[in-house]
């Protein structure tokens, strides 16, 4: 048993806002079991709101794409080395990397070599591409906390300790989340048809797909003149970037768009995207974690992805599965349309969005078909044998304590 009177020091690093959400939830759960704990590392407003001391801005790790990272390597190495030095000085008991595996697994490996227990929260998509990475994961971490149930089997086959903990939202969000409630929360008429546009939380994502999604909104307005579009800004930098894209549109289009500013502090920080999806009848979004949140909210979606062409060529060559977005991966077939790279055009986005908006009672047709299947996946995720992430993490320290007795 862990001595709860002893102060624990845990290092944590999140690399983007979705990780900040997961990290904050994990911090809360750990504090319930072991209140005498402090957290240092890198996190956004949510993790900081739970007490984490962030040594660097989360934004500096928020990169997307293999080749897009190259220009920032010297800075990333400097941050990594600074973290490892500080973790050593603070004598951390445990390190938890939240997502961002390309960065966190390198930190974990060096810390594990120093006999510090290490955890990777959110498995990299090693089951989908570059499966040989599992050897490096085994060398870097003592445990992987998996959001998806099938990931545990993959790791078990490769002698890596893994625990299925699910996504916190799968447990807390109701299976039939009412869009009317989301609209009321934003002061929107419940009869107003709304479309959420989520271009991503990273600068590179917004640059790659933001313009396409906004141009798609322009075309959709010609078909459905009374649409209202909601766009969340993940942080101040994304707010300025998105506002610049909106300002380039006509006044009529601007009037149909509401940009939501990011939450600044507290438990709701970073939840702007979720508030937008909760208030949207249909969503069009950049591929990523937002697709999982849209699934859990039961929001029919069209997924768009575009990266540097070299990144795309490399990933396409290495990929082992037929789908990119989590709704389709979990279903095993196409549930939500995916428009990848050259297919990510305005014409294709409008073509896929049109049937989802055709019945604006949202009770039949393509909208209902996708909605029902998303809810079915959500139900399955809730019914799986989910373990406590906090208990799994702290069990590693029990092993450490037992070994020293």
Quick: pLDDT tens for 199-214.
988 888 899 899 999 9
Give domain status of residue 257, yes or no. Answer: yes
Residue 231 token pair: 């766009």
Give the CB-side neighbour count of residue 336, counting CA atoms within 13 A: 32
> Which ranges of 118-206 would DSSP assign to H, the alpha helix?
133-140, 149-157, 168-172, 179-185, 203-205
If asked whether residues 331 and 267 sit together in one domain, one would say yes
Dump the DSSP string for 308-361: -HHHHHHHHHHB-SS--SHHHHHHTS-SS-EEEGGG--HHHHHHHHHHHHHSTT
**Judgement on whether residues 147 and 209 belong to the same structural domain of the protein:** no
Identify whether residues 32 and 159 lie together within a single domain.
yes
In a shared domain, residues 236 and 248: yes
Tell me the average pLDDT across 170-197.
93
Same structural domain, 242 and 116: no
- In the chain, the percentage of residues whose pLDDT exceeds 70 is 90
Residue 336 and residue 302 in contact, taking contact as beta carbons nearer than 8 Å: yes
294 lies in the same domain as 149: no
Tens-digit pLDDT profile for residues 116-133: 999 999 998 887 666 778
Q: Does the residue 238 lie in any domain?
A: yes
Task: Give yes or no for residue 404 having a pLDDT over 60.
Answer: no
pLDDT reading at 270 higher than 60: no
Give 198's Cβ-side CA count (13 Å radius): 32
- Same domain, yes or no, for 162 and 39? yes
pLDDT in tens, 27-65: 999 999 999 999 999 999 999 999 999 999 988 887 554
Q: Which structural domain range is residue 276 located in?
A: 172-382
Q: What angle do CA 301, 186, 28 make, to 5 degrees?
A: 80
Q: What is the pLDDT of residue 114?
A: 95
* Together in a domain, 283 and 153: no
> Cα(143)–Cα(401) distance, rounded to whole angstroms?
17
Q: Does one domain contain both 119 and 143? A: yes
Cβ-proximal residues to 383 (8 Å cutoff; 6+ apart), any chain: none
Q: At 232, which helix (H) or strand (E)?
A: strand 228-232
| pTM, full prediction | 0.77
- Structural domain count of the chain: 2
Rounded to whole angstroms, the Cα distance separating 86 from 73 reads 20
Residues 95 and 107 sit within 8 Å (Cβ to Cβ): yes
pLDDT at 299 over 50: yes
For residue 6, what pLDDT is reported? 85
**Residue 254's CB: how many other CB atoms inside 10 A?**
12
Question: What is the band of 378 on the pLDDT scale with cuts at 50, 70, 90?
Answer: very high
Residue 12 CB: number of other CB atoms within 10 A? 27
Flag whether 3 is in a domain: no
**Domain for residue 2, yes or no?**
no
Query: Does 187 reside within a domain?
Result: yes
Assess whether 186 and 304 both reside in one domain: yes
Task: Please tell me the distance from the alpha carbon of residue 236 to that of residue 262, in angstroms, as a whole number.
Answer: 7
pLDDT score of 198: 95
| C-beta neighbour count of 60 within 10 angstroms | 14
- In this prediction, residue 405 carries a pLDDT of 42
Asked if 260 and 276 count as a contact pair (C-beta separation under 8 A), the reply is yes
Task: Kindly state the average pLDDT of the residues 322-349.
Answer: 92
- Asked whether residue 207 is domain-assigned, the answer is yes
* Distance, CA of 338 to CA of 325 (rounded, Å): 7
Contacts of 342-346 with CB under 8 Å at 24 or more apart are 344/209, 344/212, 344/304, 344/305, 344/306, 345/212, 346/212, 346/215, 346/216, 346/219
Q: Read off the pLDDT of residues 329-338 as tens digits, 9 standing for 90 and up.
A: 999 899 999 9
The CATH number assigned to the domain holding 310 equals 3.40.50.2000
**Residue, of 306 and 88, whose pLDDT is higher:** 88
Q: What is the mean pLDDT of residues 166-174?
A: 86
SS3 98: strand
Residue 195 has pLDDT above 80, yes or no: yes
Out of 71-75, 136-140, 315-319, the most confident range is 136-140
For 121: left if phi > 0, alpha if psi spans -120 to 50, otherwise beta; the answer is: beta
For residues 26 and 116, state if they share a domain: yes
339 bridge partner residues: 304
Note the pLDDT of residue 63. 58
pLDDT tier, 289 (very low <50, low <70, confident <90, very high otherwise)? confident
Q: Which two tokens stand for residue 294?
A: 């849209």
pLDDT-derived band at 316, boundaries 50, 70, 90: low
- For residues 317 and 297, give the distance between their C-alpha atoms in angstroms, rounded to a whole number: 33
Residue 212 is predicted with a pLDDT of: 95
Q: Check whether 157 has a pLDDT greater than 90.
A: yes
Q: Which residue do the tokens 């271009």 mark?
A: 199
Same domain as 205, residue 79:
no
The more confident residue out of 314 and 163 is 163
Give the chain's mean pLDDT. Answer: 89
Residue 111 pLDDT exceeds 50: yes
């Amino acid at each position: 048993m862990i001595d709860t009177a002893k102060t624990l020091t845990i290092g944590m690093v999140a690399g983007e806002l979705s990780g900040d959400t997961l990290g904050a939830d994990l911090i809360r759960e750990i504090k319930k079991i072991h209140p005498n704990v402090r957290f240092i590392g890198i996190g956004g407003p949510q993790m900081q709101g739970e007490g984490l001391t962030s040594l660097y801005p989360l934004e500096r790790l928020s990169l997307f794409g293999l080749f897009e990272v190259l220009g920032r390597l010297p800075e990333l190495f400097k941050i990594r080395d600074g973290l490892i030095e500080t973790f050593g000085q603070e004598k951390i008991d445990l390190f938890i990397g939240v997502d961002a595996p390309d960065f966190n697994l390198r930190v974990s490996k060096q810390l594990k070599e120093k006999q510090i227990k290490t955890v990777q929260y959110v498995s990299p998509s090693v089951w989908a591409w570059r499966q040989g990475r599992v050897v490096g994961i085994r060398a870097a971490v003592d445990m992987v906390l998996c959001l998806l149930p099938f990931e545990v089997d993959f790791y078990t086959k490769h002698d890596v300790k893994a625990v299925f903990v699910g996504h916190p939202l799968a447990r807390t969000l109701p299976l039939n989340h009412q869009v009317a409630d989301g609209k009321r929360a934003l002061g929107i008429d419940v009869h107003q048809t709304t479309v959420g546009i989520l271009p991503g939380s990273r600068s590179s994502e917004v640059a790659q797909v933001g313009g396409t999604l906004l141009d798609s909104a322009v075309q959709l307005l010609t078909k459905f003149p009374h649409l209202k579009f909601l766009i969340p800004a993940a942080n101040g930098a994304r707010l300025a970037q998105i506002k610049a894209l909106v300002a380039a549109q006509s006044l009529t289009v601007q009037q149909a768009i509401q940009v939501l500013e990011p939450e600044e502090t507290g438990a709701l920080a970073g939840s702007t995207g979720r508030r937008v999806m909760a208030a949207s009848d249909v969503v069009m979004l950049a591929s990523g974690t937002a697709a999982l949140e849209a699934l859990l909210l039961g929001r029919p979606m069209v997924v768009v992805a575009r990266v540097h062409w070299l990144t795309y060529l490399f990933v396409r060559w290495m990929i082992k599965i037929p789908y990119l977005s989590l709704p389709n991966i979990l279903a095993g077939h196409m549930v939500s349309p995916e428009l990848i790279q050259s297919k990510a055009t305005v014409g294709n986005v409008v073509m896929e969005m049109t049937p989802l908006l055709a019945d604006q009672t949202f009770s039949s047709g393509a909208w209902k078909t996708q909605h029902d299947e998303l809810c079915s996946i959500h139900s399955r995720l809730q019914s799986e044998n989910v373990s406590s992430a906090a208990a799994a993490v702290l069990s590693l320290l029990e092993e450490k304590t037992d070994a020293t007795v």
